[in-house]
Amino acid sequence: MSYPILSTVIFLPLAGALVIFLIKRSNESLIKWTALVLSLLTFAVSLPLFTGFDKTTADMQFRETYQWVPSWGINYALGVDGISVLFVLLSTLLTVLCVTVSWNSIKDRTKEFFAALLLIEGSMVGVFCSLDLFLFYIFWEAMLIPMYLLIGVWGGPNRVYAAIKFFLYTLVGSLLMLIGIIVLYFNTGRSFDVLQMMTTNYPYHLQLLLFWAFFAAFAVKVPMFPVHTWLPDAHTEAPTAGSVILAGILIKMGAYGFLRFSMPILPEASREMAPLMMVLSVIGIIYGGLICLGQTDIKRLIAYSSVSHMGFVTLGIFALNIQGVQGGILQMINHGIVTGALFLSIGIIYDRTHTRQIADYGGVATVLPVYAAFFMVFTLSSIGLPGTNGFVGEFLILLGGFTASNVLGVFAATGIIIGAAYMLWLYQRVFFLDVNPKVRSYKDMNLREVLTLLPLLLLVLWIGIYPNTFLSFMDASVQHLVQRVNTAGQPQMAQQIIEVIR
């Protein structure tokens, strides 16, 4: 590699945001085109991660390390492994789609909107690539501000409340994590190096405390069951692009945090807490699903479905076996694609009707047939129909979940049924039944909108039919991770036995 790919992927959008800031406000089309070109360019730059990734190793790749604050041992350290590489790609892809879907729907303050979008992209990628906890924390927090503005300025009627709620929830968690990070720093011989932490063994009671400190930050982001209440508000009030980024990537950062930090750094505590985490996940699955059945607002419904789906993800992750973790990661990607696509679709119809109430729709399939077809595929994928990506992910998770606990596996499986119920019922109410006079006069999707949804449609089918392309990325890394979680802290003997068995 001749150029630092990861740094480029992080800083290109940031530079783009600056460029957009310097363009005159009145020149809207230049602003939009700059944003589009830059996000496309970023996506293109990130593609070598896909092609040049060495799938045989669990080591970090594309590494960059520079000293940053030597007196604290802080480095600017980047790198990706099989767990994070796909999220980087997902981030760059979804940003492009966010730009195109917002093309006409953002009417005022376009300049700030696209600048904020690119700022978010840069910091999201930064979160997934950081190999230094301090750097990670900076990116983790830096993303909040543009996100706050995205919701608070371009959102729905209740936007300020939703934005502040989102920020406060996240910040409490983050600050507790910050204390955890600092404690970790002192116990790692004054280093923020994640890789070094992954090989250090910390005392058990310390691990337990740190686990909860990190849990505070990650669980809020995921969001796991008791701390999920910010999500429906934020998703519902956010503009389409904001919802897509929230659902597609932002909430994945929580689960990613568990995978990257909690589990390998604090393996014993993770093992000990796994049953509790799984129970919380299953509660989230069922609770989120049941709430969905009662929603009258499309966006809110999809938002609650995220609670349910992310429950599957954390269930898989904390099953602590290879199938579960792989399924969890794949399901995160899937959820990013599908929920992103669903929010994009809702955005497309909302641009026409300016209503999100299910009661205002009906018979959309006869008026906008192409749109209905797209929505159908995403709905089926969300349910987990075989042949779509949702099936592969949920299947792996359930496999892992059953291996870990039969009872929880059964409960989680009922979640799928509830999921099918609310998604199909939604589809019926919106697309079939009598044509609602309010939607009669609308045109079907234009080329820009089709092009926005098409890549996601292709991905849904690709992962659904041939998931191996993506699973093969994470094989080595997941194996390494699961081994670390399950063997760390055990007597040497047990490790040797496991070696022999393998």
Partner 1 sequence: MNSADFIALLPLIVPALASVVLLLLITFSRSHAVSVLFTLGSLLLSFLLLFVAGGGTPRRVTPLFIMDAYSLFFIGLLFIAGIVVAVMSSRYLGERSMERGEYYVLLLLATLGASVLAAGSHFASFFAGLEILSVSLYTLIAYRRNDDRGNEAGLKYLILAAASSSFLLFGMALVYAQTGSMDFFQLAEGGRVPDLTVVLSAGLLLITVGVGFKLAVVPFHLWTPDVYEGAPAPVAAFIATSSKGAIFALLMRYFSLMDLQRFPAVWYGIAGIAVASMLIGNLLALRQNNLKRILAYSSIAHMGYLLVAVLAGGTVAKTAVGYYLAAYFATMLGAFGVIAFLSGEEGDAENLEAYRGMAWSRPWTAGVFVAMLLSLAGIPLTAGFIGKFYVVAAGAGAALWIPLIVLVAGSTIGLYYYLRIVAVLYGRVPEGEGGAVTGFPGRVLGMTGGILLTVLTFALLWLGVYPAPLIRILQATVARLVP
Name the site residues for partner 1 (rule: CB under 8 A): 21, 68-72, 108-109, 112, 137-139, 141-142, 144-145, 148-149, 152-153, 160, 163-164, 167-168, 171-172, 175-176, 178-179, 182-183, 185-186
Cβ nearer to partner 1, comparing 182 with 283 = 182
Cβ nearer to partner 1, comparing 182 with 420 = 182
Q: Residues near 311 by Cβ (< 8 Å), separated by ≥ 6?
A: 224, 225, 281, 282, 283, 284, 285, 288, 412, 415
Report d(CA 100, CA 208) in Å as an integer: 45
Question: Are the CB atoms for 416 and 316 separated by under 8 Å?
Answer: no
Number of residues that this document lists for the chain:
502
* Least distance CB 222 / partner 1 (angstroms): 19
DSSP letter (8 states) at residue 131: -
Closest by Cα among 253, 241, 278, 256 to 405: 278
Cα 111 from chain centroid (whole Å): 26
Strand partners, 64: 78
Cβ nearer to partner 1, comparing 65 with 446 = 65
* Least distance CB 361 / partner 1 (angstroms): 28
Q: What is the residue-wise DSSP string for 204-264?
A: HHHHHHHHHHHHHHHHHHTT-GGG-THHHHHHHHS-HHHHHHIIIIIHHHHHHHIIIIIHH
Report d(CA 381, CA 422) in Å as an integer: 13
Structure tokens that stand for 52 in this block: 């040049």
3-state secondary structure of 28: helix
* Least distance CB 1 / partner 1 (angstroms): 26
* Least distance CB 173 / partner 1 (angstroms): 10
Cβ nearer to partner 1, comparing 35 with 144 = 144
Cβ nearer to partner 1, comparing 110 with 452 = 110
Report d(CA 108, CA 117) in Å as an integer: 15
Task: Give the phi and the psi of residue 426 in degrees, each rounded to 5.
Answer: -60, -45
* Least distance CB 17 / partner 1 (angstroms): 12
Cβ nearer to partner 1, comparing 142 with 224 = 142
Structure tokens that stand for 135 in this block: 């750097």
* Least distance CB 174 / partner 1 (angstroms): 9
The terminus-to-terminus CA distance of the chain in angstroms comes to 34
* Least distance CB 167 / partner 1 (angstroms): 6
Cβ nearer to partner 1, comparing 142 with 445 = 142
* Least distance CB 124 / partner 1 (angstroms): 14
Cβ nearer to partner 1, comparing 179 with 451 = 179
* Least distance CB 11 / partner 1 (angstroms): 13
3-state secondary structure of 26: coil
* Least distance CB 140 / partner 1 (angstroms): 8
Cβ nearer to partner 1, comparing 55 with 109 = 109
Cβ nearer to partner 1, comparing 210 with 430 = 210
Question: Are the CB atoms for 31 and 110 separated by under 8 Å?
Answer: yes
Question: Are the CB atoms for 401 and 412 separated by under 8 Å?
Answer: yes
